[in-house]
Amino acid sequence: MNREYHRWYSPSLHRDMELLVFGHSGARLLVFPTSRGRFFEWEDRRMMDTLGHHIASGWLQVYCVDSVDAESWYAHRHPADRIARHEQYHNYILNEVLPLTQRKNANPFLIAAGASFGGFHAVSFGLRHPDLVGRILSLSGLCDIRGFSDGYYDETLYFNNPVDFIANEHDPRRLDLLRRQDVILAVGRDDRLRDSNERLTAVLWQMGIGNALRLWDGWAHDWPFWHKMLLLYIGGHD
């Protein structure tokens, strides 16, 4: 299996950032780590083994990015500063990581995926950029970030919180693109994040945006479940 390590100084974040690439061709899979997780998390958790056949067959090329959650949503700083740091991270993904994926791989199809807090990143980035992301796969993901802002609210938070910005989307072109996306939200019935998933799926359907909410028995918020979810849903709604 092809494995590449990349590191560069990020103009968006003003510090070095690292990522891993697995595979040689196929749809591009952008992977966000869990809360304050690192770029090597999915490799350490053997998720690449789960995707091994897809990668070896040239169906997927996986890009595992780092996070700055400890500097943004989990930082002990004013909520406005947390949100602003996240927006810088968003710009890093959009203006630095995605161009790298496109230079390495001409496949136009991009999947955004993540588990737990990584699910938030996948959902937020994917729904914000339906022109770039064809499929969103959230495994036990958070779908409403307002609990991390201590009651503070501003325009930047709005545009990073799909429960809010999707409900007010009226641009016909964006709505058409959103309705073409494949959105899968998998979460445990007893997971405390189930509520935010149900709110997001309801908002999406209200706007005529099809999506699949998949409820798993029990809590289902751990790596053994995410392995199974990933293998089951990586190709679509199954």
- Homologous superfamily (CATH) of 3-233 is Alpha/Beta hydrolase fold, catalytic domain (3.40.50.1820)
Burial of 127 (0-12, 13-18, 19+ CB in 10 A): buried
Taking the domains of the chain in order of start, what are their residue ranges?
3-233
User: What's the alpha-carbon Rg for the chain, to the nearest Å?
Assistant: 17
Which residue from 142, 133, 116, 113 is spatially nearest to 230, judged by alpha carbons? 113
pLDDT of residue 235: 86
pLDDT of residue 141: 98
pLDDT of residue 145: 97
Question: What residue ranges of the chain have pLDDT lower than 50?
Answer: none
Check if the beta carbon of residue 184 is closer than 8 Å to that of residue 212. yes
Q: Report yes or no on whether pTM surpasses 0.85.
A: yes
d(C-alpha 24, C-alpha 182), whole Å: 23
pLDDT of residue 48: 98
Check if the beta carbon of residue 181 is closer than 8 Å to that of residue 110. no
pLDDT of residue 1: 87
Check if the beta carbon of residue 40 is closer than 8 Å to that of residue 20. yes
Check if the beta carbon of residue 188 is closer than 8 Å to that of residue 225. yes
pLDDT of residue 236: 75
Read off the amino acid at residue 218.
Answer: G
